Structure 1
């Protein structure tokens, strides 16, 4: 990509990053952002990088107040230079967010590098950011490893001469690791570090920051790193999973799991086998534009089974209603699931 096109892409990504963090970010803007992300995989990568930089800058300004003034100065440099974005975007200007022109973006990247927060500093290979929009994305790494990024997932990849270090920033990714005994492959997700040589496993960061690791093939070592250091360590065999609470909490659950079901999304399906309805609904809502909502808590633990195509929440809800004691009511753009009683019209 030519430098001019890179500059344009960086500015657009920076502006979208700023808007996505704004408290008045509208639904129409959200839809516009999704279309922009789908236009080109490079858009998703640039947006993920911009979000990572803004997150890093926010943390740095919290740790060192002097950086706030430097960030303000960098932003002023960008806004003074003007914008060359292809389409006008509303601006949101908290001092830690990249919202100006290319000069601000470059200044912040330089700032992060000087303070050791930029991946690739200190002679290490630079990190590459990959992201998925509202559909699953496949990424083939230089070492032959394959990544399947679920909707909204972001991952940082750093392939060095002696180790392969990845950081899951958000969402869920299935890792199919190319075997290389001389370069361990590790994935850090909120302090839960999974290390392998050549295997197939999934890592998922939930909305509440809980992290799960599911092993499909091979063997992995899982370390939970808290503020005090490594809290505990274990190895998984195929068909096992680890669920760890949000960082800083002590909950740690190791259990057997159906790995084929847990990773079915990566094959373009949603497979449920005696899955609690609440868990199934959470999976369905990852892909459906029409959200499903459970109105009666009594429905949450009902077991559901089936093999569905992601995306059509209405069709899946209708299928559930055929075999479960529930009825589906459309309300406010959502599909609400109620417990069906004998006196209901369709009961």
Structure 2
């Protein structure tokens, strides 16, 4: 059995006594009556504090209730308690006044120092062909914009909205539950709170989405607000689809071709951030289309049989000479410069 008892301070006892008086005023339940009896038997100071608090309350129903709990103490000391109560009343009033002023100062100081102050911010960020940009946004989020890309940024006190108008961008979202971070591309919106993801247009309305950290909600931007789902107001089926870290999908109205990626796959997809492009056996025509995003050089293929020729390897962004050399040595594809910005590819003879 544990015989150790923690002693309450005088202020704690007075606070408990006031609480019991308020309960007595509205009427005690049977369980509360037992709890009050137990509390009164623990210490004479509890009985004294309750009488003093009751005198301050000055309500006949409370005093009558107390007279039933310990009539002798109340009868003998009523006048004494009344006098002591008046002194206690002024002391407590002064104390409460000081506490109220202090609390008011603390609350106001805390409010003005910690309340977020958000200015409306609108800007456009873009890159030219072959150019990349790293931008820290006003909320601390990080934007990595790939070649030939455009985004608009619109931050307000309750929302962080970005529109991907062209190209590719990677977002590392600063945590802010009060202001969801949403990126719109085509007919869809991707909404996140404290996460990271990559979006790349693959045609006018479709984009490829890779979630690198956390989770995002993908929805049709013409449906109801995605904020409701994030904060538990709607079901996923009504609002869209949650995608998690390590997932990749093509988004065009619906989420399609959804797949799980290994960390190596994610690193390869984001290799452009280190100035590299990784191919894993894509057809030559797809390889040239991707290379064409980073250079004004235009490619044509004279031999139709080459269009589906599979190409794999790591290529440095913008290094056209290195690409042409690798195509010849590893894939038997040679080239001919037609103009300054035009190259034709053909199969090596012999």
TM-score norm. by structure 2 comes to 0.55
The SS at the match of 1:127 is strand
Q: Which runs of 5+ in 2 are unaligned?
A: 1-117, 227-237
Name the residue aligned to 1:253. Answer: 257
Structure 1 partner of 2:249: 242
CA contact (8 A) 1:195 1:220 kept: yes
**Residue in structure 1 matched with residue 215 of structure 2 by the alignment:** 219
Residue ranges of structure 1 left out of the alignment (5+ in a row): 1-122
In structure 2, distance between residues paired with 1:276 and 1:232: 37
**What residue number does 1:151 align with?**
147
Structure 1 contact 132–151 (Cα < 8 Å) conserved? yes
**Pair 1:133 & 2:128 matched:** yes
In the TM superposition, what is the alpha-carbon distance from 1:173 to its structure 2 partner?
0.9
After superposition, where does 1:169-188 map in structure 2 within 5 Å? 169-188=165-184
The yes-or-no answer on 1:202 pairing with 2:228 is: no
CA distance in 2, matches of 1:282, 1:301: 13
Q: Distance in 2 between matches of 1:262 and 1:297?
A: 28
Name the residue aligned to 2:85.
Answer: none
2:343 aligns with 335
Tell me whether 1:268 sits opposite 2:263 in the alignment: no
The whole-number CA distance in structure 1 between the counterparts of 2:339 and 2:255 is: 37
How many Å apart are 1:186 and its aligned residue? 0.8
Summarize deviations over 1:296-331 as a string: whole Å, max 9, x none: 343333332222221122321220221113222222
Greater C-alpha Rg: 2
Structural RMSD (CA): 2.8
**Whole-angstrom CA distance in 1 between matches of 2:330 and 2:146:** 29
The 8 Å contact of residues 188 and 218 in structure 2, kept in 1 or not, is answered as yes
1:227 is displaced (CA, Å) by: 8.4
1:308 aligns with 2:328: no
Structure 2 contact 195–214 (Cα < 8 Å) conserved? yes
CA 1:126–1:269: 2 relative to 1, 3 Å: same
